[in-house]
Amino acid sequence: MTVFSQTREEILESLKRSTFSNNNIYLFCRGTKSKSGLIASRFNLKDTNITHVGVGYAEHNSFRIFNVTDLKGYDNALLIDSVNSFIAASDVYYFSIWACKTTGRNMQGLKRILKSYPGRKIVFDISFRLNNDDTLYCSEFCAAVLNSIGLKKYHFGPVKKKLNDRLYATILKREELVYYPVDFFRATNYFRLAREFKIGK
């Protein structure tokens, strides 16, 4: 399917005219042209467009996007975005929405888990290590939220990658990286592509 370039205003207008289910879990992905974004895409499973991911839900046909970011100037690495703020940065060139149908009970569980995070001090994990409490990176956070629902359908495990590139091995101080790729959810077919956009001027 060909995806034509649209402005942010056109994307927002298109989403206003769309209907989104309150009984879907949504993942929100963007791609940036930043150096860190280009590095992140090299470690993905399949999708080289995706460099950042958030998780959330639809409410009154607008989205609440919970995501962990390394933006400077924030006391907490956890942000709760609208689509507008999620794609606002000038270097964002790609945006997609992925949906997984679920039950009302699971949605209640998801919202309860997500709403527990703003009260916590989330630190962005620049070392990309697992199991260090509230020190998280974007895909690790999303996987933790989905895994907390407690259903096998939403359980995602990390992957292992040998760091054959000496630069990455030196920076990360290890020979093997155990991590959640930004497109970790592509390991299953539960999340389906709902909308996809290329962002132009």
96-111 pLDDT per residue, tens: 999 999 999 999 999 9
More reliable by pLDDT, 196 or 71: 196
The pair of structure tokens assigned to 140 is 């690790």
- Three-class secondary structure of residue 145 per DSSP: helix
Residue 1 has pLDDT above 60, yes or no: no
Residue 28 has pLDDT above 90, yes or no: yes
> Between the CA of residue 127 and those of 29, 132, 136, what are the distances in Å?
22, 10, 9
- What is the arithmetic mean of pLDDT over 176-183? 92
Q: Count the neighbouring beta carbons within 10 Å of the beta carbon of residue 32.
A: 20
- What is the arithmetic mean of pLDDT over 110-134? 92
Burial group, residue 175, by CB count within 10 angstroms (0-12, 13-18, 19+): exposed
Per-residue pLDDT band for 68 (boundaries 50, 70, 90) equals very high
> Tell me, what DSSP letter sits at residue 187?
G
C-alpha–C-alpha distance, residues 116 and 62, integer Å: 20
Total-model pTM? 0.92
Q: Which amino acid, one-letter code, is at 136?
A: L
Q: Kindly report the backbone phi and psi dihedral angles of residue 56, in degrees, each rounded to the nearest multiple of 5, phi listed first.
A: 180, -155
Q: Count the neighbouring beta carbons within 10 Å of the beta carbon of residue 105.
A: 9
